[in-house]
Each structure stands twice: as structure tokens, then as C-alpha cells.
Chain A
Amino acid sequence: EVQLVESGGGLVEPGGSLRLSCAASGFTVSDYWMHWVRLTPGRGLVWVSRLSSNEDIANYAESVQGRFTSSTGHAKDTLYLQMSGLRADDTAVYYCARGIAGTSVAFDLWGQGTMVTVSS
């Protein structure tokens, strides 16, 4: 079955770090552009980052630039999001999403999300 499963969320204090994982099955993450998107009650969905299929391009939303880093694992079946300098406004459900193949820019596969809570 083709799916994405996130893990690694939890409660972390402001200024702390956390690494999220996104395990892919049924396909190889390094064959696609992969994204992180977060959901907060007040703002809805917000795009966080994207990583190119060969990892030579990584882009981030201004709000996380310099604090978050996206990468893939050695086996190329897992996407990671390393988060540091966490702030209260980073509290959200984090989803990984696959960029649709071809020339479009939509996300055709999402995980079920992992909750990150930043609080003291």
C-alpha cells in the first residue's frame, strides 16, 4: 500500500529540538519532491518546507528558515524534519506530503500527521 506515516511528535519546551520522521511505503521518497505542511487551529494549513527528489534543493517558509532542516534517510524511504529553536507558534499537527509527479505542484499523498506541542 502506498502511504506515509509520520512520527516523532510530542511535547517540547520553548527553545528545544525535535526530529519528525515520515516513513514511506510503496514508493521511494527520493523519487519525488517531498513537503512538510502544518495545521494549526487558528491558521489552517501552512506550507513549511520542500525537498527535491535528489536533495539538492531545500526550501523553507520564512517562519522556519534557519531553524528547520528537511532531509531523507540513507535508505531513501524516510523523510525527516529536524526542528530546533522551537517556539510556541510552532505548535501544530505536522504532515508530510508527496509532490504530485509531473509538472503540477499539488500534493497527492499525505500522512495522518504528528502533533507537536511547544510549551513550558
Chain B
Amino acid sequence: QSALTQPRSVSGSPGQSVTISCTGTSSNIGAYNYVSWYQHHSGKAPKLMIYDVTERPSGVPDRFSGSKSGNTASLTISGLQAGDEADYYCCSYAGTYTFRVFGGGTKLTVL
């Protein structure tokens, strides 16, 4: 079991929006504004999509956005495209002992 809880799968049609949730605790997501999201196409290097809850690295489309409320973070992808189909992982800083915790991953299917 992963420290952070994500839905196993989500799906949407091209052009639609989907939101992936990531639930942690007051020791990780709830305690720090250090949630990041990674896109992973199988066999490829994971890619940073969101960091510090809401920040987008250069080159990441503004269709990707992040938010947080309490112990739950969310990644929203709007205007779904076929290339968005991938696994998405959330990650949170968890203090100076555990350091980093990840979610179990969510498989996004673009119908």
C-alpha cells in the first residue's frame, strides 16, 4: 500500500476534463505545500508536470493544473488529448525522516 491514495484509473473523452485526487495525511500533504505530479508513459522517463502544488515547469501546457485542500491534492487535466494517456503519480514531501511519499498511480485512459 502506498502512503498516498490515488484512484486506480480515470477516463475521459478528448476535449473533456478529468481530475485525479491524491489523499494523504496531516504528516505529508496536509503539512507541506510540496505536492508534485508526474506523468509516466511506460518504458519512458517520468515527467514532472506540477510542483509545489500549483506550479508548472516550463514546457508543460496550462491544460495541467494542481490544487490542494487539507490532506488531498488534485491534478486536473483539461482539453484531454490522446497523448495525455499515461500513468500519473502524486508525490509529497513528508518531513526529515520519511522525506518523500508517492501515490500508487492513476491510469488515465482517453476514450
- List A residues at the B interface (Cβ < 8 Å): 4, 35, 37, 43-47, 50, 59, 61, 95, 97, 100, 104-113
B73-111: which residues lie under 8 A (CB-CB) from chain A? 89, 91, 93, 99-105
Contact A112 B44 (CB under 8 A): yes
Which of these, B2, B45, B52, B93, contacts A113 with CB under 8 Å?
A: B45
Contact of A105 with B34 in the complex, beta carbons under 8 Å: yes
A44-B102, A45-B102 known; A104 and B52 CB under 8 Å? yes
Alpha-carbon distance A112/B89, docked complex (angstroms):
16
B51 lies within 8 A of chain A by Cβ: yes
The answer on a CB contact under 8 Å between A47 and B101 is yes
Q: How many A-B residue pairs have CB under 8 A?
A: 70
What is the bound-complex CA distance between A59 and B51, given in angstroms? 22
How many whole Å from A95's CB to the nearest CB in chain B? 7
- For A108, the chain B residues whose CB sits under 8 A away are 48, 51, 57
List residues of B (16-48) whose CB comes within 8 Å of A's CBs.
Answer: 34, 36, 38, 43-48
Residues of B within 8 A of A100 (CB): 48, 51
Q: In the assembled complex, how far is the CB of residue A97 from the closest CB belonging to chain B, in whole angstroms?
A: 8
Q: Output the least CB separation between A107 and chain B (Å).
A: 6
Which B residues are CB-close (under 8 A) to A44? Answer: 2, 89, 102-105
Please state if B52 and A110 are interface contacts (CB–CB under 8 Å).
no
Choice from A4, A106, A107 contacting B52 with Cβ under 8 Å:
A106
B34 close to A47 (CB less than 8 A): no
Residues A4 and B51 in contact, CB atoms below 8 Å apart: no
> A45 and B105 in contact (CB under 8 A), knowing A59-B99, A104-B34?
yes
The answer on a CB contact under 8 Å between B104 and A47 is no
